[in-house]
Amino acid sequence: MNTRDLEYLVAVAEELHFGRAAERCNASQPALSGQLRKLEDRLGVKVFERTKRYVRVTAIGDRILDRARDILREVEEMEKIAAAHRDPLVGTCTLGMPPTVCPYLTPLLLPATKRHLPEVGLELIEDFTDQLEQQLADGRLDLAILATTPTRANLSEITLYDEPFWVAVPDDHPLTRQDAVDIEQIEPGELLLLADGHCLRDQVVEACKLSRSRTLDIPGPRTQKTSLSTILALVGSGGGITLVPATSLAGGRAADAGIAVRRERSGTAGRTVRLVHRKGYPRMTLAEKLADIVAGVLPDSVHRTHRPAAD
């Protein structure tokens, strides 16, 4: 048994088709099928049910596949450790970000990364925070930029910046007459929120001192499965009020969409954004360099908490 056999195993389980699995693994179908039959013979169980019409994973096959994936992840981690020892600033880095960070930080980050880390290929993954944390903890991501404190025990962080929330209102709304808005005075019926799963939703609910059960009773447009840009479009059309992170306002996009933005009066509504990594991550030199790069491209609308090391 070798890692190639395990790769064949996982490919067939995910494709549920021997031909597609062979193509994915750059192998001939007879070779792949033959190796898997030898593997099943060695294990003494059937991992797959095969007919001319379908391929299915058996119950014991599910358990074996979980272990195969674990082994392949461990092998990949071993290879990363060796590569990091040779040069941590060379090779691919998978970086995760949630939808309320990625669109606004990426245009600033990518050009600077190409300039300062020319031999690192960034692969960006956009997903909900909980999913990114799980992928990071499992080793499927190298790093993640998150706006919440990591909850998994094997994760640690480098704080990057504190970002205030601004109040976004239609440009003809009475609140535009105020230089700063007391968010506790915002009518719940006017408040537009992202769907459950977005960390920004929870942060806005907390900032406005709303109970989660109370948010279910908020009238107005239903905003399930919408993005922050859609929420802002609703604000621009007069559909309500929302709170937005400062980086989302770069380039005057809000004013162009019929939206006025005002400071939040207390100055306490906001979030802390951090670079999250696994404890013992072998490419900490890369993580620190990436944190330096982020700190160097941040707009003045946020407060840097990470100070780049001097070159």
- List, for residues 66-89, the tens digit of each pLDDT value: 999 999 988 988 887 787 777 889
Architecture of domain 162-264: 3-Layer(aba) Sandwich (3.40)
Cα–chain center distance at 96 = 4
Local confidence band at 249 (pLDDT 50, 70, 90 cut-offs)? confident
Residue with tokens 């770069």: 250
All CATH 1.10.10.10 domain ranges of the chain, comma separated, are 3-84
Instruction: Report whether 258 contacts 82 (CB < 8 A).
Output: no
109 CB-near residues (< 8 Å, 6+ apart): 293, 294, 297
Pick the CATH number of 3-84 from 1.10.10.10, 1.20.120.420, 1.10.3720.10, 1.10.3330.10: 1.10.10.10
Counting every residue, how long is the chain? 311
Residue 147 has a pLDDT of 94
Q: Indicate the residue type of 258.
A: G
More confident residue, 210 or 99: 99
Local confidence band at 225 (pLDDT 50, 70, 90 cut-offs)? very low
Mean model confidence pLDDT for the chain:
88
More confident residue, 253 or 93: 93
Residue 212 has a pLDDT of 47
Strands (E), the chain: 48-50, 55-57, 91-97, 120-126, 143-146, 155-170, 180-181, 242-245, 259-264, 270-278, 303-304
CATH class of 88-160+272-304: alpha beta
Tens of pLDDT, residue by residue over 38-55, are 999 999 999 999 888 889
Local confidence band at 214 (pLDDT 50, 70, 90 cut-offs)? very low
Residue with tokens 């991501």: 141
Residue 266 has a pLDDT of 87
Local confidence band at 60 (pLDDT 50, 70, 90 cut-offs)? very high
Local confidence band at 132 (pLDDT 50, 70, 90 cut-offs)? very high
Task: Round to whole Å and give the CA distance between 140 and 133.
Answer: 10
All CATH 3.40.190.10 domain ranges of the chain, comma separated, are 88-160+272-304, 162-264
Residue 251 has a pLDDT of 65
Task: Round to whole Å and give the CA distance between 178 and 193.
Answer: 22
Q: What is the mean pLDDT of residues 155-179?
A: 92
Query: Among the listed ranges 3-12, 112-121, 242-251, which one has the minimum average pLDDT value?
Result: 242-251
